[in-house]
Amino acid sequence: MTDLVELEKQLLWHPFTPMQAWCAQDHEPLLLTSAQGCKLVDQHGRSYLDGNSSIWTNIHGHNHPTINASIKNQLGKVAHTSFLGFSHEPAIQLAEKLIGLLPNSPLKRVFYSDNGSTAIECAVRMALQYWKQNGHPKRDTIVSFDRAYHGDTLGAASLGGIPLFKGSGNDFGYPTQRVSNLDVLQSMDTQQTEHLAAVIIEPLIQGSAGMQLWPRGMLSALSSWCQKRNIFLILDEVMTGFGRTGTMFACQQEEVSPDFLCLAKGFTGGYLPMAATLTTTRVFDGFQDTDKTFYYGHSYTGSQLGCAAALGNLQVFEEERTLDSLPSKIEHLRNELDRLSKKASVREVRQCGLIAGIELSPPSMIEAWGAKICLQARKHGLLTRPIGNTVVLMPPLATSLKEISEMVEAIALSLDDLA
């Protein structure tokens, strides 16, 4: 195992990871070797609760028999075929199920891609191309919010409002405008709004900003504002989709139906990279003529294995009545977090469904306090990652009440250890 760790440090480069510290002599990377339910096991056989759903992707726990079976069944037929020029049954069944989850919405078309960033870029490109070829070439600007996060590819990153994640880039290839809140939009005059192609937002809660909640009602007010001005609304539900906030999709809590709905992370239950951009018949109809075709796609668009995993994910939602189990878990998490928020070392606790951000009050002069607390939490059997000084707690929806308590307790103990 030591050899493996040496090799790992010699060969690999990790996302969002300062590599000098990673490769330092005294850092031993955790190699995760197996998992069951909400528990992950490392190279030494130690087990941990998956406190951030394996970077916000896992839904029904790991090694779930239904999703495993769905993938194995597909694997016995064919793993991947091109979606350019061909189709297949899992993709069709999945689209029918997805549209069926939004019965009262005009979202009627499904475009597959591979990850959250591509789901976003796809929506942005559809929106821009739609206006350009349907008589509104002036509508060329995409509005996003301060502290937004929509992914890391250049196109998605240019919508981001978190400087750290924007890298050295600025805005790539299309005009963007960042606003701090809805008031700024509402104070715009026609001269300004007639240039807007779309507004993009993470509904209810901004994830990478450190789990920041939007005020209740903001989403529906934004939706009406957009509708009145003929501006598209793009909802980034890459994090919030698939039950994370208590409903299947966050937008359902304010009865909002966007022009584009972007899904990824939990789409396959945390099994395979797969994404979808849902849109309306109106948008689809703007691409009918041959010279208006949407020339966009990726090699693995509509992956058969990905579709099979996503179908398995939705099957578990039905069979285990996952959404019905959420209110008591959300309530339980709220009660447990309440204990944390009373600690002097905690500045604020924010929660939306089964998503929580525990903002710490770091002792002065100490850097990367959130990271230190998360490292300490490993000793108490919890794996999660901070965003700055906010510890993220986002348990898989399948987490039991007891496991939720254990996760919060691990954070409480870590805070006490380092107090």
Phi/psi at 120 (nearest 5 deg)? -70, -50
The single residue listed with the structure tokens 């406190």 is 51
Candidates 96-104, 177-185, 212-220, 235-243 — which segment interacts with ligand PLP by CB under 6 A?
235-243
CB 18 within 8 A of CB 356: no
Alpha carbons within 13 angstroms on the beta-carbon side of residue 376 total 18
Looking at the Cβ atoms of 49 and 204, the one nearer to ligand PLP is: 204
Interface pattern 38-57 for ligand PLP (x via CB under 6 A) = --------------------
Candidates 80-88, 158-166, 236-244, 355-363 — which segment interacts with ligand PLP by CB under 6 A?
236-244
Give, as ranges, the residues between 270 and 289 that touch ligand PLP (CB under 6 A). none
Residue 205: strand pairing partners: 213
Is residue 239 a contact point for ligand PLP (CB under 6 A)?
Answer: yes
For residue 341 the two structure tokens come to 């928020």
Q: In angstroms, rounded to a whole number, what is the distance separating the alpha carbons of residues 75 and 15? A: 29
Q: Which of 109, 150, 244, 332 binds ligand PLP (CB under 6 A)?
A: 150
Is residue 202 a contact point for ligand PLP (CB under 6 A)?
Answer: yes
Q: Which of 37, 157, 214, 236 binds ligand PLP (CB under 6 A)?
A: 236
Q: In angstroms, rounded to a whole number, what is the distance separating the alpha carbons of residues 124 and 352? A: 27
Q: In angstroms, rounded to a whole number, what is the distance separating the alpha carbons of residues 146 and 132? A: 26
Q: Which of 61, 207, 210, 266 binds ligand PLP (CB under 6 A)?
A: 207
The residue sitting closest to ligand PLP, measured at its beta carbon, is 116
CB atoms within 10 A of CB 34: 12
Looking at the Cβ atoms of 263 and 340, the one nearer to ligand PLP is: 263
Is residue 204 a contact point for ligand PLP (CB under 6 A)?
Answer: no
Q: How many residues bind ligand PLP (CB under 6 A)?
A: 14
* CA proximity to 5, closest of 35, 32, 28, 39: 28
The strand ranges marked E within 211-345 are 212-213, 232-236, 260-263, 275-280
Q: Closest separation between CB of residue 86 and ligand PLP, Å?
A: 25
Is residue 151 a contact point for ligand PLP (CB under 6 A)?
Answer: yes
Looking at the Cβ atoms of 137 and 173, the one nearer to ligand PLP is: 173
Q: Closest separation between CB of residue 57 and ligand PLP, Å?
A: 8
Q: In angstroms, rounded to a whole number, what is the distance separating the alpha carbons of residues 348 and 409? A: 17
CB 340 within 8 A of CB 334: no
Looking at the Cβ atoms of 120 and 204, the one nearer to ligand PLP is: 120
Q: Sort 252 into a burial class: Cβ within 10 Å, 0-12 / 13-18 / 19+.
A: middle
Which residues, including other chains, have CB under 8 Å from residue 235's CB and lie 6 or more apart? Answer: 200, 201, 202, 203, 250, 251, 256, 258, 260, 261, 262
Q: Closest separation between CB of residue 139 and ligand PLP, Å?
A: 23
Is residue 264 a contact point for ligand PLP (CB under 6 A)?
Answer: yes
Give, as ranges, the residues between 98 and 117 that touch ligand PLP (CB under 6 A). 115-117
Strand-by-strand arrangement of the 47-50 sheet? 32-36, 39-42, 47-50, 382-383
Q: Closest separation between CB of residue 341 and ligand PLP, Å?
A: 24
Is residue 390 a contact point for ligand PLP (CB under 6 A)?
Answer: no
Output the CA torsion 81→82→85→87 (10° steps). Answer: 50
Candidates 37-45, 93-101, 144-152, 399-407 — which segment interacts with ligand PLP by CB under 6 A?
144-152
Looking at the Cβ atoms of 275 and 412, the one nearer to ligand PLP is: 275
Candidates 36-44, 93-101, 121-129, 234-242 — which segment interacts with ligand PLP by CB under 6 A?
234-242
Q: What residues make contact with ligand PLP under the rule CB under 6 A?
A: 115-117, 120, 149-151, 202, 207, 236, 238-239, 264-265
